[in-house]
């Protein structure tokens, strides 16, 4: 099977210019591939570089070395050094990212936050609203909150809005950062169902989860990022 993403020799170092130019070698020579219909879970101690890897894959950080090849729009795109317009097209069509915390935009209602990825892809508004409502209902978010901006919502409510938004459209590759961190057992089970449905539809997922039950429920394979202590050089 052709992988959705193929990563080779990926390294990322941070240089702390304000702190005597200390260099943190966070990712070192990582190579892995992600297949459609599977979930790869990033595994490793706190500080191993899991979030850094996610941000690098999403194009937020430029790696120091290596290659990230992504199946996008019928072609293989090298994400390292891709133009900003290509990264934006990838984020609209190919790679979704459910970050740990919802980015709250003042005065934008919960329903609009959830619908946005579908509207950006040209889905009809009524259809988008129906899908958003179905997801919010499954995630047990009270209907009385849907027309409110999520800024005042609890941590778990904000997380469920973020998850509904992430699953609004099918993604060839979906990145999930701690998708069940603030959720109770019932809502964790809903998130695991959504992940299973996405996999059945052919999506590949890359996830970080400190929640052992959730991790076991979603993982098809693991990337162990704790094999060595990071090397810090100045
Ligand atoms: N923007 C940055 N600038 C400098 N150092 C950074 C930056 N982002 C992360 N780091 C460092 O990289 C290392 C890995 O951080 P990262 O957040 O990726 O770890 P993690 O495995 O996701 O940890 P956790 O499980 O605690 O969330 C840490 O030592 C952190 O201090």
**In the predicted model, what is the mean pLDDT of residues 69-81?**
96
Is the confidence at residue 232, as pLDDT, over 80? Answer: no
Task: Give, using CA atoms, the residue closest to atom 3 of ligand 1.
Answer: 14
- State the distance from the centre of ligand 1 to the C-alpha of 52, rounded, in angstroms: 6
pLDDT band at 227 (very low <50, low <70, confident <90, very high): low
Q: Whose CA is nearest to atom 9 of ligand 1?
A: 52
Between CA 206 and CA 113 the distance in angstroms is 23
Pocket test for ligand 1, best of 47, 57, 224 (most atoms within 8 A of CB): 47
List the CATH code of the domain at 1-94+173-179+204-234. Answer: 3.40.50.300
The residues spanned by each domain of the chain are 1-94+173-179+204-234
Tens-place pLDDT, residues 165-217: 999 999 999 999 999 988 999 999 999 999 999 999 999 999 999 999 999 99
**Mean of the per-residue pLDDT values of the chain:** 93
Q: Is the pLDDT of residue 164 over 80?
A: yes
Ligand 1, atom 2: closest residue by C-alpha: 14
Residue 22 · residue 232 · CB < 8 Å: yes
- Dist. CA 122–CA 116, nearest whole Å: 10
pLDDT at 226: 80
* pLDDT band for position 228 (cuts 50, 70, 90): low
Residue spans of beta strands (DSSP E) within 79-234? 95-98, 173-177, 204-208, 221-224, 231-233
C-beta of residue 139 within 8 angstroms of C-beta of residue 190: yes
Strands 173-177 and 95-98: parallel
Block residue for tokens 């090298």: 78
Lookup: tokens for 219: 């993982």
Q: What is the pLDDT of residue 234?
A: 38
Are the C-beta atoms of residues 58 and 67 closer than 8 Å to each other? no
pLDDT digits (tens, 9 = 90+) for 12-59: 999 998 888 899 999 999 999 999 999 999 999 889 999 999 999 999
What does the pLDDT look like over 103-144, one tens digit per residue? 888 889 999 999 999 999 999 999 999 999 999 999 999 999
The mean per-residue pLDDT over the stretch 1-14 comes to: 94
Tokens of 27: 């990712």
Beta strands in the chain (DSSP E): 5-16, 22-34, 39-43, 65-72, 75-78, 95-98, 173-177, 204-208, 221-224, 231-233
ipTM of the complex: 0.96
Q: Which atom of ligand 1 is nearest to the CA of 52?
A: 18
For residue 99, how far is its CA from the centre of ligand 1 (angstroms)?
15
| The predicted structure's pLDDT at residue 230 | 43
């Amino acid at each position: 099977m052709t992988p959705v993403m193929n990563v080779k020799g990926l390294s990322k170092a941070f240089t702390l210019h304000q702190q005597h130019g200390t260099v943190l070698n966070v990712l070192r020579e990582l190579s892995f591939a992600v297949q459609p219909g599977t979930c790869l879970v990033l595994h490793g101690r706190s500080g191993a570089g899991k979030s850094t890897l996610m941000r690098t894959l999403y194009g937020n950080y430029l790696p120091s070395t290596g290659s990230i090849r992504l199946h996008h729009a019928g072609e293989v795109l090298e994400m390292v050094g891709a133009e900003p317009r290509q990264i934006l097209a990838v984020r609209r069509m190919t790679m979704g990212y459910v970050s740990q915390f919802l980015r709250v935009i003042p005065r934008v209602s919960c329903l609009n936050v959830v619908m946005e990825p579908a509207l950006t892809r040209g889905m009809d508004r009524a259809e988008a609203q129906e899908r958003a409502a179905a997801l919010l209902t499954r995630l047990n978010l009270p209907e009385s909150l849907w027309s409110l901006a999520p800024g005042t919502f609890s941590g778990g409510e904000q997380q469920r809005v973020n998850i509904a938004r992430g699953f609004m459209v099918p993604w060839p590759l979906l990145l999930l950062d701690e998708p069940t961190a603030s959720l109770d057992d019932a809502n964790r089970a809903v998130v695991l169902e959504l992940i299973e449905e996405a996999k059945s539809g052919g999506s590949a997922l890359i996830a970080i989860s400190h929640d052992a039950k959730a991790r076991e429920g979603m993982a098809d394979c693991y990337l162990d990022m704790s094999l060595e202590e990071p090397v810090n050089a100045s």
